[in-house]
């Protein structure tokens, strides 16, 4: 069984010095951003299902096969692919890195949003 992941993202190594005007909190976020590994904006779910083989015991006994599914949005459509057992750990790590990156982006954007509010 093959899995086709169309896009796994890797951030380029950042070796530039941090800007002097960056706050201490901002520098911490940037340092964590540099350490983000390959990431995949998707979700991984593990479920139990029937395989579809009429001779298999799952046809008589119910849903007993465990399967992992990778789900993501592409061109406005939800896409889903099976993830083989041997790749589940690696795919889960890519998704965890995506969540870390998303969290860092939100932390970086917070100060920008507060500067747009009118002063009281």
pLDDT of 89 over the 80 cut: yes
Q: Are 3 and 79 in contact (CB under 8 A)?
A: no
Mean pLDDT of all residues belonging to the chain = 80
Q: What is the mean pLDDT of residues 102-111?
A: 81
The pTM of this model reads 0.67
d(CA 93, CA 114): 32
d(CA 101, CA 108): 10
- The pLDDT tens digits of the residues spanning 2-57 come to 444 556 556 666 555 555 566 777 778 778 888 888 889 999 999 988 888 888 88
Instruction: Look at residues 49, 71, 66 and name the one whose alpha carbon lies nearest to residue 5.
Output: 71
């Amino acid at each position: 069984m093959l899995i086709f992941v169309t896009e796994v993202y890797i951030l380029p190594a950042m070796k530039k010095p941090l800007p002097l005007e960056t706050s201490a909190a901002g520098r911490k976020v940037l340092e964590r951003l540099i350490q983000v590994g390959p990431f995949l904006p998707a979700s991984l779910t593990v479920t139990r299902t029937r395989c579809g083989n009429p001779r298999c015991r799952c046809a008589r006994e119910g849903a007993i096969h465990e399967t992992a599914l990778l789900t993501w949005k592409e061109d406005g459509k939800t896409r889903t692919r099976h993830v083989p057992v041997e790749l589940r750990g690696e795919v889960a790590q890519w998704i965890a890195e995506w969540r870390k990156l998303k969290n860092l982006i939100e932390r970086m954007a917070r100060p920008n949003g507060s500067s747009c509010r009118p002063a009281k």
